[in-house]
Amino acid sequence: MSSTPSLDPEELRKVASSFGVDAAAYDRARPRYPDALIAAVADTARDGAAGPTPRVLDVGVGTGIVARQLRAAGCDVLGVDVDARMAEVARRDGLDVEVARFEEWDPAGRTFDAVTAGQTWHWVDPEAGAARAADVLRPGGTLTVFWNAGDPPADLAAAFAAVYRDVLPGSPFAATSTASAETAYRQMVETAADGIRRSGRFTEPRERRDTWERTYTRDEWLALVPTTGVATRLPAAQLDALLAGLGAAIDAAGGSFVQQGFTLSVGAARV
């Protein structure tokens, strides 16, 4: 699924703060990130850390999906998120989370070995966010931001797009049949890399691409859709119509499908 926000800053804040409408459902439905990417982030953070347990700041921690994976990889993680409802779910799993917009968050003199952001950096001002990350990173510490995305089979993508055109004609998903998810997410990576460069405080950004695939049942896909930015603020009747149309398309395709997925990331070290 793909979307590229094209909203004014105030509207972006509203959308970014809308994911907690059902935070527990978000946590259940959203996919995790590739183990190889998480291990690489943890290993890089550990290299040069003052102690055996690297300290990581996870921006847009949400319900703690990235943070839990990093914790399992041996990191001590602090999360920051704009949505108190999302933060509460993360805290239930023992994560330390502070509620604030990252650009305005007070680090209180703390420093970290790495800063991460999974599926959230497009809600952050790319240059101001990079500068704030540099403020809290030790020399050599890394900023790594990444996104999961993927495409269903072409015939199903076309059917999904028809549903979005019918129910949400202004949605970016209405073009799914002609635009790969990678096009939208590649733009996010390029915007992030450009912000890192403009901050003047990092080495040249380096990109990475991890591939994966996942089989989604009808129920699993319909659980995921309401957690996406295009759906979190829909009126109930409109969301019901959207889910009914998407469900019918999946039923017609046999009740499940394989999504060809990928995770795009970009990272750099603080100079």
Give the residue extent of every domain in the chain: 9-152+180-215+261-269
Res. 11 pLDDT band, cuts 50 70 90: low
CA–CA gap between residue 231 and residue 30 (Å, rounded): 14
- Which CATH superfamily includes the segment(s) 9-152+180-215+261-269? Vaccinia Virus protein VP39 (3.40.50.150)
Q: For residues 167 and 151, what is the distance between their CA atoms, to the nearest angstrom?
A: 20
- Helices 154-167 & 236-252 angle (0-180, nearest 10): 160
pLDDT band with cut points at 50, 70 and 90 for residue 3: very low
- The confidence band for 230, taking pLDDT boundaries of 50, 70 and 90, is confident
69: tokens are: 């994976």
Query: Taking the model in full, what pTM does it have?
Result: 0.92
Torsion of Cα atoms, 126 then 149 then 183 then 43, to 10°: 50
- Per-residue pLDDT reduced to its tens digit, 49-66: 999 999 999 999 999 999
- The maximal CA–CA distance of the chain, rounded, in angstroms, is 56
